[in-house]
Structure 1
Amino acid sequence: MKTLAHRVVLAWGWRRAAIAFVAGAIGALAMPPFGFFPALILALVPAVWLVDGLGSRRDVRTIAAAAGIGWLWGFGYLLAGLWWLGAAFLVEAERFAWAMPLGVIALPAALALFYAAGFALARALWSPGAARVLALATGLAAAEWLRGHLFTGFPWNALGMAFGQSLPLMQAASLVGLYGLGLLAAAIAAAPATLATGRTPTARLAPTFVATLAFGGLLAFGVARLPAAPMPEVAGVALRIVQPNLPQDVKIDPARREEIMRTYLGLSDRTTSPERASVADVTHVIWPESAFPFLLHRDARALAQIAGLLPAGTTLVTGAARVDEGWLPGEEPVFYNSIQVVADDGTILDTYDKVHLVPFGEYLPEMFAAILDGVGLRAFVAVPGGFAAGTERRTLAVPGLPLIAPGICYEAVFPGAVTPRGERPGALLNVTNDAWFGDTPGPRQHYAQARLRAVEEGLPLVRAANTGISAMVDPYGRETGRLPLGTAGLIDAGLPQALRPTLYARFGDGVFAIMLLTCCVSALMPGLRGSRSGVG
């Protein structure tokens, strides 16, 4: 291992670039659906050695060189983890295939700038010994928090997801959230770098020993937190989650209207058990995002068909595009990606409009709109001008259910933003359409992130996906029902009760901020002590 570390430290030119890129790409194996945590060790240990190879000086030149290593590392990590975005460009290949490099290469290249900044910060904090492990963890954690918030945010595959797939390990998210998990994962995974570089046996072994204890502590906390018994359920609630598994080219085709409605109506009324002989035995039916290639609230026939399906007292909650009724002839209509609550007589009782839209997918950002429009690129959704954003995150009132915190598609990947301010909801609802991405890691990554929100907030998650993964998840992240990707079917389930607000639900990223500051100070301390003692 010493020989390998020596070679990495001394690597230069294209070899250094290749090591950084490959190490980052290996790190993607720690993300869903693989969940191979040792891959993060193989990614971050060489990263420590590469930064070591820049020497002992902390000046603009070495910080810039560290940023270059960070960009290459981040580009490899994101390219290997997000390649599946290219599948969306092939749904309407005749219109979008030419732009595939923009999603598959340009987006990871742009997002890698956050990792460049993270490595630059780490280098500014760098000092010999174990503290440099904390410097790298601090830089990466700060970079990922910024990636999740700046320019609308894109926290997909944050490093915390390395711990966000195992039931025991994900329980710490109830305390520190996704970014706190990421800080812990980075510090633990980078610690073995000292095994080959420490000057004394203690310096070599102590960081890995502490990291092992920390990992064991996370595991023990999770095991202790998980109850043996199932969660009690909300009385009088019988949910039916419908996964139609409609191909995307069918789902967006208005000419397939009748076929689509038959699919939804037929699935919703199936017999699944002696206790669920038909839709008459359920209280709520859940359909996924943008369920129809038409405007439900303007389609009296579709509403009548739904009313014919629903028995008295049963409510439908469904994704559906809608148009603002306030527009006048001659004006551009304003469309929203929404969730609508439909009563048994076809009346729409409540509506939530998606607030956090997908850039380039649901709208073209203003700063790029003119350029992209000039080369013929429009948003993927077949809506003139794309969707408009809703005005606020709000709860959804559904008869017979506690207050619901709705989230459409990738709104579920933003930690701390899935519940609105005000009265605490009793459940999370995520409706989505991952058919854009086919049978790739993308839908699996999306589900894993939505599931972690349930643990962070201490709330059950109801998830309806067009092609999967649909699930009923309790506040500990345990699945009480699940449909795999690429199957049509139903989940009949009760609604688990919510827990009391978790530490993360009460303080959000405040705990993470304290952790980050502590690591930053700890990384700086050896350098400050050296300066005071006259050691340069």
Structure 2
Amino acid sequence: MERLAGRILLLGGWRRAGLALFAGAIGALAMPPFGVFAAMFVSFTLLVWLLDGSTGNPERSGTLNLRAAFVTGWLFGLGYFVAGLWWLGNALLVDASGFAWAIPLAVLGLPAMLAIFYGFAAMLARLVWSDGMGRIAALAFGFGLAEWLRGTLATGFPWNAIGYAAMPVPLMMQSSYVLGLFGVTALSVFVFAAPALLGTRRGLVPGLLIAVLLSAAHLGYGGWRLSFAPPDTTEQRQISVRLVQPAIDQAQKMENSDRVGIFEKHLTLTSAPPAEGQKRPDVIVWPETSVPFILTENPDALVRIGDVLQDGQVLITGAVRAEERGAGLPPLYYNSIYMIDDKGQILSASDKVHLTPFGEYVPFEDVLRRFGVEELISLPGGFSPAASRSPLTLPSGISFYPLICYEAIFPGEIPPDLAGANAILNITNDAWFGATPGPYQHFLQSRLRAVERGVPLLRDANNGISAVIDAHGEVVDGLSLNASGALDTTLSIGSVPKWNNFDHNLNFWLILGSLGFVAFISSLGFIRRMN
């Protein structure tokens, strides 16, 4: 290991750049659908040794060393995001004649921008770099802060945050209940980078010991919470649910040539008899934008829904909502969720707050539209964001906190008390991404929101992965990618746990502060030894 570390440290030119790209790309194997979390150990070990080489030249100025660290981190990030997000180009092929030109921007341009955060992480770590365990703590500090910034700045995009690699299965997801995504991310980087100490030996014993203890705590807490922890709920209520996954091709949805057929397919799946051994569903859920027209402008559609629903049943469906502004102004359009009763009456609605850039709106619209940049979903002016999100409350009193599609990747979109809701509802349309890693990655990230909050999750997709997830991230039942049908199951509802988002944030900053302190103290000792 020492010989290998030494050879990597001395690499230069295209060999160093190529290895940095490779190190990032290999880390993407830790994300769904592969889930090889051990790949991150290879990825971050190589990154540490590369940074040892890019920061270890005493003859270079501090500015040049920082630049070298940034470039190494940026190349690492470029490899990671291209390998992990290449499937975004599939969405542009749905309407290839209009958007194929933008595929390089999605497959290379977006990763190049996201990689800036990883370049920043490496440069920040370089400021307190040392030759022992301290540099592992510095890297964890840099990446922890960078991932938090990536999930926050410019509306955020925390897709495939490093912490997800450490949480592929429920046993390994439970730490997020205490630490949140970004707390797990910071500590994960420390553990993933710890094998790099085998290449230099300094700080080997304490570094590996801490990594082993963190791993044991991660797995031990997961096992305790799944098997021995007291239940998070004091009482349980159960409702029968049907998730409708029609698996309609996205090109067909966009053509708008068979709106009636699309609508009727949803109705047919809704009216099917219950699955064997299941009760008649109390709640039927349709996916995002499943109604192919403006509901409030088509009263006949509401009548049809009322005819199909049986007494006491409620439909929750995604649809586009139009809001007239009058005085010759065009209407505002919202990506919405409606709750409709058996009389075809709209009981309540909630609009999407966190829109998808370039999918639902164009950032810097006035400038980019001059260059022909349009949003994927063609509406006059795109979608408008809602000012706030409203829980959907059933006549029985059970309430869902709604997240539409992309909103489910943001831990901060869910308030500490779920605004009084009992469960999370996520409707989506992952048909945009076809049979690629995209739907699997989206599913994992949605699933983690249930674990972080300690409440169940209903997830319904047009074509993606529809499922009922319990408060520990276990899949109660589900429909796989490309499956078309209706899933009948039971959702158990309990009280909302005490833990909240403030605690997640507080614990994240405590972790980050501890890592930064260790890195800073180690760097002081390193400087003294060098002098």
* Range class of TM-score, shorter chain: over 0.9
SS at structure 1 position matched to 2:392: coil
Task: State whether residues 251 and 292 of structure 1, in contact with CA within 8 Å, keep that contact through their aligned partners in structure 2.
Answer: no
User: Conserved in 1, the CA contact under 8 Å of 2:134 and 2:522?
Assistant: yes
The C-alpha deviation readout for 1:226-252, integer Å capped at 9, x for no partner, is 037999885352111111110001223
Does 2:146 correspond to 1:143?
yes
Aligned to 2:56: 55
Structure 1 residue 414: deviation in Å? Answer: 0.3
1:457–1:502 contact (8 Å) kept in structure 2? no
Partner AA of 1:221 in structure 2: Y
CA distance in 2, matches of 1:218, 1:422: 26
- For 1:422 and 1:109, the matched residues in 2 are separated by 35
Partner in structure 2 of residue 501 of structure 1: 497
Q: Structure 1 276/407 Cα, relative in aligned 2: closer, same or farther at 3 Å?
A: same
Whole-angstrom distance in 2 between the partners of 1:480 and 1:301: 36
Aligned counterparts of 1:236 and 1:472: Cα–Cα separation in 2: 13
Corresponding residue number in structure 2 for 1:328 = 326
Q: TM-score, normalised by structure 1?
A: 0.94
Do structure 1's residue 373 and structure 2's residue 375 form an aligned pair? no
Q: Quick one: distance in 1 between partners of 2:216 and 2:418?
A: 37
In the alignment, structure 2 segments of 5+ residues that lack a partner are: none
Distance 1:420 1:499, change over 3 A: closer
- For the 8 Å contact 1:90–1:96, the answer to whether it is kept is yes
1:513 and 2:514 aligned: no
1:32 deviates by 1.4
1:458 aligned residue: 454
Cα distance between partner residues in 2 of 1:104 and 1:493 = 38
> In the TM superposition, what is the alpha-carbon distance from 1:205 to its structure 2 partner?
4.1
CA distance in 1, matches of 2:492, 2:412: 21
Partner of 1:92: 95
TM-score when normalising by structure 2: 0.95
Where 2:87 maps in the other structure, the secondary structure is helix
Note if contact 1:241-1:470 (Cα within 8 Å) is conserved in structure 2: yes
Q: How does 1:274-285 map to 2 (within 5 A)?
A: 274-276=276-278, 281-285=280-284
- Say yes or no: does 1:293 pair with 2:292: yes
Structure 1 pair 257/114, CA: closer, same or farther in 2 (3 Å)? Answer: same
**Aligned-partner Cα distance in 1 for 2:402–2:251:** 26
SS at structure 1 position matched to 2:406: helix
Q: Paired residue for 1:393, among 372, 380, 389?
A: 389
| Distance (whole Å) between structure 2 residues aligned to residue 50 and residue 75 of structure 1 | 15
Cα deviation 1:275-303 (Å, max 9, x = unaligned): 447xxx11111000000221112211111
- The letter of the residue matching 1:364 is V
State the shift of 1:38 in Å: 1.4
Answer yes or no: is the 8 Å Cα contact 2:130–2:526 preserved in 1: no
- Please tell me whether the aligned partners of residues 401 and 418 of structure 2 are also in contact (alpha carbons under 8 angstroms): no
Q: Is the 8 A contact 2:349 2:390 kept in 1?
A: no
Question: 1:79 is matched with which residue?
Answer: 82
Mind listing any 5+ residue stretches in structure 1 that lack a counterpart? none
Specify which of 236, 239, 251 is matched with residue 237 of structure 1: 239
CA 1:46–1:120: 2 relative to 1, 3 Å: same
- Residue type of the partner of 2:314? T
1:187 corresponds to: 190
Question: Partner of 2:86: helix, strand, or coil?
Answer: helix
- Using the TM superposition, give the Cα deviation of residue 333 of structure 1 relative to its aligned residue in structure 2, in angstroms: 1.3
Shift of residue 534 of structure 1?
A: 7.2
- Number of the residue aligned with 2:122: 119
The one-letter amino acid paired with 1:255 is: S
Q: Residue in 2 aligned with 1:348?
A: 346
| Residue identity opposite 2:192 in structure 1 | A
Partner of 1:393: helix, strand, or coil? Answer: coil
Secondary structure at the counterpart of residue 319 of structure 1: strand
Corresponding residue for residue 208 of structure 2: 208
- Structure 2: how far apart are the matches of 1:89 and 1:191? 40
User: For each residue in 1:372-421, what CA deviation from the matched residue of structure 2 results, as whole angstroms up to 9, or x when unmatched?
Assistant: 32232210002111100001133222222522110000100001322376
Amino acid at match of 1:427: A
How far off is 1:272 after superposition? 4.1
Task: Give the match's secondary structure for 1:239.
Answer: strand
**Match of residue 431 from structure 1:** 427
**Can you list the C-alpha shifts for 1:121-161, whole angstroms capped at 9, x where unaligned?**
00011112111101011101111100000011000000010
Query: For this pair of structures, how many residues does the alignment match?
Result: 526
Whole-angstrom CA distance in 2 between matches of 1:394 and 1:164: 30
Q: What is the aligned-residue RMSD (CA, Å)? A: 2.0
- Residue 149 of structure 2 aligns to a residue whose secondary structure is helix
Query: What's the secondary structure of 1:482's corresponding residue?
Result: strand
Q: Distance in 2 between matches of 1:343 and 1:515?
A: 47
The code of the aligned residue for 1:42 comes to V
2:401 maps to which residue? 405
**Aligned residue identity for 1:4:** L
SS class of match (2:239): coil
